[in-house]
Structure 1
Amino acid sequence: MSTRGGPTGLGERALGPDLARGFMLLFIALANSHYFVTGGRYFAGFPADGSAADRAVGMLISTFVDGRAFPMFGVLFGYGVAQIVRRQREAGREWWPIRKLLWRRSLVLVVLGFLHAMLLYIGDILAAYGVLLFLGVWALRWKDRWLFIVAGLVLVLIALPSDDLLDSFTEGPDPTMLPAGIGAQLADRISAQPFVAGVAWIGFVTPFLIGLWAGRRRILERPAEHLALLRTTALLGLTIAIAGALPVSLVVGGVLAMPSGHTLSIIGPLHAAAGVFGGFGYAALIVLIAHRLSGKQPHGKGGDRQGITLAIAAVGQRSLTCYLAQSVVWTVVFTPYLLDLSDTLTTTTTALLAVATWLATVLLADRMRRVNYRGPFELLIRRITYLKTATQSGPAQSTAATRSRSSGSRE
């Protein structure tokens, strides 16, 4: 059991959100890996001069993964924040201590993200989510309608035509991703990382706010009470995401010719905005799958299928550790002063590497699950987040503790 107001114990967690986080790490691996591949021409992060197989794989990733994995991360991140707030309020804590707790958590994410970007992967998202959480605590007490209004406004801004994406769609890997030496890596990234962390969070505002709303209603934890909403979200969300991705993904696949700059300024933002709906759709779909599996296979039974489900959910329970483990692989495999395989691997083989890396984290996380070990970075962030929880008890917690001691019971 978890301490009252503290982090949720592993045995108390709902299957749906953890299973969604587990699959999310597969999508993130696929979304990140192809950016390291070198080539003569590029479009949307993919070499445009690869083989037919490479173009087909690129089209699939562009349609179903790129710009869809990170919004799903945003939804689950906001949902998790809502869970923390609910536990704190149930423990009798006031809003100001809760904000300070979340600010400590945001600080850990910013520091970890900075170190991650400097030493491993410049495309880090942890720092951006740390900034988002630091600012997002002020949305915790917003009424539902304001969550939706602000989320909708930000989504509209993302969808507006923009020329800012032109270079990122037609250029190859950023030099900071493939540094020639450790000195150049640190020198280049120290100036790039503040910009990445200071701007990238804007694209995650919409899924974060919707995740907060869903977390208030425990939609992903109690799917049986929200089946119609989840089914509608899965169907509409994924339909919009796929349709919005096609203008870009068909170019990636070589089906359509390279668009003009004006066309790209329209279809690029469209791809990103539609991906937000994909994040909603994937989260809803995976929670529905978890609900179905839970109904057919009682906990602890079901053989190999149940074991696989629990193993993937274990990745979700240790998503921070598994996310950082992926970056270790990218660094070792692609960095020029290490294995330097950017010129050797292709879009297809990097996709296979991404899947293999995710499977390795599934095995690692399942091993941790079997020995009841939460994960090194999960322990770190929880210890700092809940550093003062024991001493900052609200009236309700103090009363509960007194009753517990008088009755001789243990929480």
Structure 2
Amino acid sequence: MTHPEYPRTSAVPKAAPPEPGDQLGPAAAPPRRAFAPDLARGLMLCLIAIANVSVYLWGTQAATSLSGHPASDSLLDRILSVLTILFVDGSIYPMFAFLFGYGIVQFARTRTAVGDDPRTITAMLLRRNLWLVVFGLLHAALLFGGDILGAYGLCGLILSYLIQRAGDRALMITLWVLLGILGLFLLAQVGMILLAQALAGDTTDEPMLGDDAVGSFTTLLLTQGTGETNYLLAVGVRLLVWLLATVLGTLSLTVPLVIILGGLAARHRWIESRGEDATPRRPRLGLVAGVGIPLGVLGNLPQALAYLGWMPSDSTTVDITAVLTPVTGACAGLGYAALFGLVGLRVQDRPPRLLLPIAYLGKRSLSFYLFQSVVFAPLLAAWGFGLGRTWNTTPAFLLAIGVWIASLALATWMESRTYKGPAEVVLRRLTYGRAGRG
């Protein structure tokens, strides 16, 4: 028996071929909701909770300047921290960026199907992304300086028109240009690190070039007001961190690159069942997952070894891999999207009851992303109950998993009553108003 929200793909009427200049095709019957992207978003929220909760452990010094994980003598703490460094850190937000780009095309396709013209859709996307930046600003001011809505909304303002209206060829050219610029920038950083080590010789007094800058920003990101008892001062720190993260997240090029990849993937329904429209052109999900995730683990391995004290935290290897982590993390993020998409596609026609709550959660990912901060910040920050001062990694992880499980239950309850996520409702109204269709 299929769930009515995720019916068999074969029941979807085949749309007419797209006309020249219309990448999303003409108006047609509104597309049924795809299960795999929602499943990926729901699983992503679990990993985001695990990644973010360590930020609130403000009472213990981080094991290394490049790691936000507190030092601990507990074997379980160390195991959990190492697993997070290897499999979560640096890879979940690229996955978020990929799904964000994927969602741009899904949004445009849905609006096209209900009869909106391309110019109207472009205006809607611009308003939607502008309000996401505002959501991110409020999220940072009130609760969490590590917010990523601002960076993705800013990238969406810049890229939405391109993703919606440009051809595949134009998107591919843009990707290659950005990749070239990013490659040159990374080569320059690696060269500076090697040059600094050569000039330093055997002395260990001077820090490696880049270690101070990265470490200082990481420390600022980790504190972001969680250890500040004065709430108003904490607001100022969080806003400063948010502003830096939003601007640097856009300028880093990895976020725009992955968003464009998400848009391209959505055009070809990469993690959706396409029935008769399926073509052999899209990269195999299993191959992307099998290559991307190990690359991410390999990129994070030196930092995991440094956390354990098995490698000097200021070694050249750690410095260089820290520079390359945004790229290897992006590979892992794409790998996770492919893996979760593969699972979703396998069960698309008859989603198991066990997976349905995860998809319901994914439908409301914006609301429950914010919900995590509503729980974490007052409990753990110094201006709240201050539990982050005494907690170590294990209870923090239990809290993260508990919040995710509670989110599953709440999302399932909302689905049973056809309630949308409150943040989604507000964003929807702001995007196309009360009179907006669909």
Deviation at 1:170, TM superposition (A): 6.6
Identify which of 100, 110, 114 aligns with 1:77. Answer: 100
- 159-168 or 264-273, larger mean C-alpha shift: 159-168
Contact 1:128-1:196 within 8 A present in 2 as well: yes
Aligned to 1:221: 272
Aligned to 1:145: 172
Structure 2 CA distance for partners of 1:96 and 1:157, relative to 1, 3 Å: farther
Structure 2 CA distance for partners of 1:41 and 1:78, relative to 1, 3 Å: closer
Q: Quick one: which amino acid aligns to residue 184 of structure 1?
A: L
Contact 1:71-1:207 within 8 A present in 2 as well: yes
Aligned to 2:301: 246
Deviation at 1:89, TM superposition (A): 4.0
Structure 2 CA distance for partners of 1:110 and 1:76, relative to 1, 3 Å: same
The answer on 1:135 being equivalent to 2:139 is no
The answer on 1:323 being equivalent to 2:372 is no
Identify which of 111, 134, 147 aligns with 1:111. Answer: 134
Contact 1:57-1:347 within 8 A present in 2 as well: yes
Q: Quick one: which amino acid aligns to residue 149 of structure 1?
A: W
Distance 1:244 1:183 in 2: 38
The answer on 1:211 being equivalent to 2:234 is no
Distance 1:148 1:36 in 2: 36
Aligned to 1:404: none
1:343-369 Cα offsets, whole Å, 9 max, x none, are 221112211111111111111111111
Distance 1:18 1:342 in 2: 32
Distance 1:117 1:41 in 2: 22
Aligned to 2:110: 87
Identify which of 24, 41, 45 aligns with 1:21. Answer: 41
Q: Quick one: which amino acid aligns to residue 336 of structure 2?
A: Y
Aligned to 2:390: 344
Deviation at 1:47, TM superposition (A): 1.6
Which SS does the other structure have where 2:312 is aligned? coil
Instruction: Name stretches of at least 5 consecutive residues in structure 1 with no aligned partner.
Output: 300-305, 392-410
The answer on 1:35 being equivalent to 2:55 is yes
Which SS does the other structure have where 2:429 is aligned? helix
Trace 1:168-187 onto structure 2 (pairs within 5 A): 168=217, 173-187=222-236
Trace 1:357-368 onto structure 2 (pairs within 5 A): 357-368=403-414
1:305-345 Cα offsets, whole Å, 9 max, x none, are x2221100011000011101100111121121321011221
- 40-49 or 349-358, larger mean C-alpha shift: 40-49
Structure 2 CA distance for partners of 1:52 and 1:172, relative to 1, 3 Å: farther
Contact 1:158-1:272 within 8 A present in 2 as well: no
Q: Quick one: which amino acid aligns to residue 324 of structure 1?
A: L
Which SS does the other structure have where 1:259 is aligned? coil
Q: Quick one: which amino acid aligns to residue 147 of structure 2?
A: D
Trace 1:225-236 onto structure 2 (pairs within 5 A): 225=278, 229-236=284-291
Structure 2 CA distance for partners of 1:351 and 1:177, relative to 1, 3 Å: same
Contact 1:238-1:281 within 8 A present in 2 as well: yes
Distance 2:224 2:416 in 1: 41
Distance 2:56 2:185 in 1: 26
Structure 2 CA distance for partners of 1:261 and 1:113, relative to 1, 3 Å: same
Aligned to 1:402: none
Distance 1:223 1:168 in 2: 44
Distance 1:158 1:5 in 2: 43
Identify which of 140, 146, 150 aligns with 1:123. Answer: 146
1:29-55 Cα offsets, whole Å, 9 max, x none, are 111111222323432111234423222
TM-score (structure 2 length as normaliser)? 0.79
**Count of residues in Structure 1 that have an aligned counterpart in Structure 2:** 380
Instruction: Name stretches of at least 5 consecutive residues in structure 2 with no aligned partner.
Output: 6-25, 191-209
Contact 1:42-1:171 within 8 A present in 2 as well: no
Contact 1:77-1:211 within 8 A present in 2 as well: yes
RMSD: 2.9
The answer on 1:165 being equivalent to 2:185 is no
Q: Quick one: which amino acid aligns to residue 257 of structure 2?
A: T
Deviation at 1:85, TM superposition (A): 2.3
Which SS does the other structure have where 1:165 is aligned? helix
Trace 1:363-378 onto structure 2 (pairs within 5 A): 363-378=409-424
Contact 1:248-1:271 within 8 A present in 2 as well: no
Q: Quick one: which amino acid aligns to residue 292 of structure 1?
A: R
Deviation at 1:13, TM superposition (A): 1.0
Q: Quick one: which amino acid aligns to residue 49 of structure 2?
A: A
Aligned to 1:194: 243
Distance 1:312 1:100 in 2: 31
Aligned to 2:9: none
Which SS does the other structure have where 2:227 is aligned? coil
